[in-house]
Every structure is written in structure tokens, then in C-alpha cells.
């Protein structure tokens, strides 16, 4: 499991500044099309560790919603970090047409 988590973290580290990806897109790259929950668990593990090198705030659900926001210092931190990187929102969801980055299986 640790190797799989590290693979997930490598993908998350690859998400460009000002862009987001989804749990499902990461799951697809690691070969688990239905593994979005696994990706969420891996990112939750970062929240309880001292790792600051993994930009978990750049991973959103398929609708662009900040479903992981409760795992940050406050429920507002995730959005604040994204906005500081230039990510725009349509109400409560990231503007996915502008900011979606789809990882490649070549990562």
C-alpha cells in the first residue's frame, strides 16, 4: 500500500500551479478506475502527517467541489490556497473548463 500511496503522491506533486485534478483521474492513472476512494484515503494520510510537499489542495471531486476541505486546518484553507494560485470558481466549484489537468499514465 505504501508504494501505491507514493505513486499517488507523485501524481499530485505533478499537478501544475493553478490547475486541479480529480480523485478519479488519479485512480485511472494508477490502474484503479474505481479507486477514487483509495486516492482520498492516501490524501487523508497526508493531512495527519508532517508532509508539506504534496499539494493535496489541487485534488477535487469530479464536479470540481472541494470534498476534501474538512481535512485542512479550516474548511476555508483549500479554497484559499487554490485562489492564491489563480484558480477560479463557479459558486462553490472550481471552474473545471479552465483549470482541469488530466494526468498522463506516463508520469
Q: Do 16 and 105 meet the contact criterion of CB atoms below 8 Å apart?
A: no
Look up residue 47 and give its three cell numbers.
493531512
Owner of C-alpha cell 476555508: 76
Q: Do 46 and 78 meet the contact criterion of CB atoms below 8 Å apart?
A: no
Which residue is catalytic, options 26, 29, 56, 87? 56
56 catalytic per annotation: yes
Residue 77: its H or E element:
helix 77-84
Tell me the three state secondary structure of residue 22: strand
Query: Could you give the residue numbers annotated as active site?
Result: 56
Amino acid at each position: 500500500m505504501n508504494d501505491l500511496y507514493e505513486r499517488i503522491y507523485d501524481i499530485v506533486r505533478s499537478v501544475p500551479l493553478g490547475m486541479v485534478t480529480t480523485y478519479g483521474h488519479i485512480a485511472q492513472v494508477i490502474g484503479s478506475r474505481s479507486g477514487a476512494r483509495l486516492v482520498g484515503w492516501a490524501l487523508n494520510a497526508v493531512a495527519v502527517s508532517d508532509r508539506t510537499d504534496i499539494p493535496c489542495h489541487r485534488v477535487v471531486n469530479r464536479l470540481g467541489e472541494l470534498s476534501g476541505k474538512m481535512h485542512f486546518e479550516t474548511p476555508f484553507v483549500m479554497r484559499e490556497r487554490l485562489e492564491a494560485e489563480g484558480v477560479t470558481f463557479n459558486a462553490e466549484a472550481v471552474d473545471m473548463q479552465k483549470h482541469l489537468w488530466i494526468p498522463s499514465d506516463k508520469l
